[in-house]
Structure 1
């Protein structure tokens, strides 16, 4: 059910993405700081909410089709 909701809205909590990919949240922080991922594109944080991963942007990155500095 959780994955159905994530698929429907297009976002998944950062912690769930990290579990799926097998990385730490620190690894995502490094991607953001190096420009590999972009805030507001790959990771968004709504006011008062948790950081969320944009599934479409993450999929493009996984496939090497991202507009980020590095893939």
Structure 2
């Protein structure tokens, strides 16, 4: 499933709703790509795009670690 409601995403990932709101406020995630707010006010998370974001973050951390070594 590509899009899941915020509560389901938190259940699956272990993140809290506050952590997700912080990512949105700090513009770590992009509205319309990683998350969207439906007309009824529900927050939906795009799990495919979040997975890509995680992979890119891990790769970036690994390359920074290699440079520091």
The two structures share one fold, judged by TM-score above 0.5:
yes
Counterpart residue number, 2:55: 63
Equivalent residue runs for 1:1-71 within 5 Å: 7=1, 10-64=2-56
Rg (Cα) greater in structure: 2
TM-score where L is the length of structure 1: 0.69
How far the C-alpha of 1:37 sits from its partner, in A, is 0.8
Structure 2: gaps (5+ residues): 58-69
Aligned CA RMSD, in angstroms, stands at: 1.5
- Write the distance in 2 (CA, Å) between the matches of 1:32 and 1:49: 15
How far the C-alpha of 1:24 sits from its partner, in A, is 0.8
Q: Secondary structure at the match of 1:52?
A: strand
Structure 1: gaps (5+ residues): 1-6, 66-71
- Write the distance in 2 (CA, Å) between the matches of 1:45 and 1:56: 17
Runs (4+) off by over 2 Å: none
